[in-house]
Amino acid sequence: MGYAEVYAAAKSDPEGFWMEQAKAIDWDEAPTKALHDANAPLYEWFKDAKVNTCYNAVDRHVENGRGDQAAIIYDSPVTDTKETITYAELQKRVSSLAGALKAKGVTKGDRVIIYMPMIPQALEAMLACARLGAIHSVVFGGFAANELAVRIDDATPKAIIAGSCGIEPGRVVQYKPLLDGAIELATHKPDFCVIYQREPEIAPLTPGRDFDWHEVQSDVAPADCVPVEGDHPAYILYTSGTTGAPKGVVRPTAGHLVALNWSMKAIYNIDPGEVFWAASDVGWVVGHSYICYGPLIAGNTTIVFEGKPVGTPDAGTFWRVIDEHKVKSFFTAPTAFRAIKRDDPEGKLIENYDISHLRALYLAGERADPDTIEWAQRVMGVPVYDHWWQTETGWSIAGNPAGIEPLPVKIGSPTVAMPGYDVQILDEAGHPMPAGELGAIAVKLPLPPGTLPTLWNAEERFKKSYLNTFPGYYETGDAGMIDEDGYLYIMARTDDVINVAGHRLSTGQMEEVIAGHPDVAECAVIGVTDALKGQLPMGFVCLNKGCDRADDMIKAEVVKRVRDTIGPVAAFKLVAVVDRLPKTRSGKILRATMVKIADNEEFKMPATIDDPAILDEIKEALVPMGYAGA
């Protein structure tokens, strides 16, 4: 069957289609039914099944003769380390860590926060939780203590598993002081922490609370897999929304297993035993779905890469990893390719390597600009597939189904809707728009298996954020269009979310942090275009009347405040002090107009603007910063 037939089959008979895909999973109790719609518009998949994710990602492969196959290849140019972990070894390590967690009281349904760098132990920690039916929540290492504290208070974990440090080019990021600071800040306190000590930074442990990763595992029995219900949360992953409070996206166990397993062949064209590499971080959804779970569920070899596309040691690192580990499908964010292209514009370094076994490059996480796609196609000589999805969905909403039938690539489009997603473009009133016209991208309910059923402890927020605007649809937060051939185009966000180097950030959250500065009367944060990172956050601050402190001092404090509160990942370095912000007569800040001015794009004067002269003041502030056509 080609793509059109598969898509049509999933649409006309979702029950039959997904029950068929479910046969690839090893169930403790097989589902009798795929979709459960009694609580519509809240939907659940495979709810009456019993299953264990870790069993499907690890144990079953050992039982089926893959014990000696590499499950994980760890390649860390920043520590000059390489390690191969077979499925049999992974089973031993994960059951041992799970045994330790169990001995310390972690049981099914308990939350466990994982705060670790890109090392295999991060995956082991995730899988150990899954083995016990505990719900993990991985927090990205580039977030500050405050962000970790917010997640501790929302997830109320019984335990936290952390690395002692992460390694960024040129500096060691000490995780332990951040962890201690977060626990101090949080109202909820975990019962205990497990610390994986890494050589560059052996952290002092807090007696009675912190336990060494290895010591805690000595003298405990390995733990078996605990079957959980199909709708049991596999994990919570926090992502940015409009406000400062991150949204805890819940991933349901059974749908996650079925959808990811299906996607490895259908989208990434990978067969069991082959090597798949997603160069991202376990702190993001790409890391959850395609560094950890997807490839392991499907019996592939996954690569845990601790490094950057450039500077570790050079722009040839990606080619080396693809060559050395015989990667068949490779997935990363466009920003990584922009970084490589900037350092090695001719792509000369690739000549030192043999990447002939690579079938395709997959890009996602942010808009893939045509220049980057064309450069990658030319230098690598393989198809480049853009695909579009979100933390909320956990797998592609739109992509090129290379394992079913590779479709012609149209540059600028992540291709077509994946089976199970009825993607539509809606106008403000929720009416479908004709082909070629721009509108809000929505997905007709129900969403397919593996997508979020709700937000952690926040069902009303879930409905308000995603379901209420267009009844009967899931609102993606992206705007775009569909052409006559059914190809989708993603143009912009419809909310205050920006995308910085593939990282999803909330300008609203940054505004909340900046507004807390004692000299700031009001502020606005916008996302301006950046050649490397796609977008960068830029802040505009108006100072309190009578404030006579130097602008530069306040700017530096504002930058530090965002870095200390949200984290270095916010990449917040651009601030202007202005007298006034442009607003509508009803007081709404004209952020979209400010973006156009900063990017030096044509814009229409908003009819409701209060005082057009303020736009000139904004432009004057932008020019010295190198924006607005400077």
Q: Name the H helices within 502-590.
A: 507-515, 551-565
Q: Which of 301, 499, 507, 509 binds ligand AMP (CB under 6 A)?
A: 499
The number of angstroms, rounded, from the C-alpha of 322 to the middle of its chain's C-alpha atoms is 22
| Vertex 330: Cα angle to 410 and 131 (nearest 5) | 125
441 Rama class: left (phi>0) / alpha (psi -120 to 50) / beta: beta
Residues 544-583: x where in contact with ligand COA by CB under 6 A, - otherwise, as a string:
------------------------xx-x------------
How far apart are alpha carbons 248 and 468 in whole angstroms? 18
Q: Which of 414, 446, 449, 527 binds ligand AMP (CB under 6 A)?
A: 414
335 is a contact residue toward ligand COA (CB under 6 A): yes
Total residues belonging to the chain? 630
How far apart are alpha carbons 408 and 320 in whole angstroms? 29
Beta strands in 159-231 (DSSP E): 159-163, 165-168, 171-174, 192-196, 210-212, 228-229
Q: Report what 386 binds from ligand COA, ligand AMP, none; CB cut-off 5-8 Å by kind.
A: ligand AMP
Q: Which is closer to ligand AMP, CB of 210 or CB of 366?
A: 366
Residue type, 227: P
Q: Which of 265, 308, 410, 444 binds ligand COA (CB under 6 A)?
A: 308
Residue identified by tokens 């290379």 is 402
366 is a contact residue toward ligand AMP (CB under 6 A): yes
Q: Annotate 493-505 with three-state secondary structure.
A: ECCCEEEECCEEE
# binding residues, ligand COA (CB under 6 A)? 23
196 is a contact residue toward ligand COA (CB under 6 A): no
| Vertex 457: Cα angle to 134 and 475 (nearest 5) | 110
390 is a contact residue toward ligand AMP (CB under 6 A): yes
Piece in contact with ligand COA (CB under 6 A), picked from 48-56, 304-312, 439-447, 512-520: 304-312
Residues 469-488: x where in contact with ligand AMP by CB under 6 A, - otherwise, as a string:
-------xxx----------
How far apart are alpha carbons 387 and 487 in whole angstroms? 11
Q: Report what 309 binds from ligand AMP, ligand COA, none; CB cut-off 5-8 Å by kind.
A: ligand COA
Piece in contact with ligand AMP (CB under 6 A), picked from 173-181, 215-223, 359-367, 567-575: 359-367
Q: Report what 501 binds from ligand COA, ligand AMP, none; CB cut-off 5-8 Å by kind.
A: ligand COA
Q: Hey, how many other C-beta atoms are within 10 angstroms of the C-beta on 405? A: 14
Torsions phi, psi for 551 (to 5 deg): -55, -45
In angstroms, what is the minimal distance from the CB of 140 to ligand COA? Answer: 6
Radius of gyration of the chain (CA): 24
# binding residues, ligand AMP (CB under 6 A)? 20
Contact 44, 36 (CB under 8 A): yes
444 is a contact residue toward ligand AMP (CB under 6 A): no
Q: Report what 166 binds from ligand AMP, ligand COA, none; CB cut-off 5-8 Å by kind.
A: ligand COA
Pairing of strands 275-278, 327-332: parallel
Q: Which is closer to ligand COA, CB of 41 or CB of 568?
A: 568
535 is a contact residue toward ligand AMP (CB under 6 A): no
What the block records as the tokens of 363 is 């890009």
**Binding site residues, ligand COA, CB under 6 A:** 141-142, 166, 168, 173, 280-281, 284, 286, 308-310, 333, 335-336, 339, 365, 501-503, 568-569, 571
Q: Which residues bind ligand AMP (CB under 6 A)?
A: 239, 285, 364-368, 386-388, 390-391, 414, 476-478, 490, 493, 499, 504
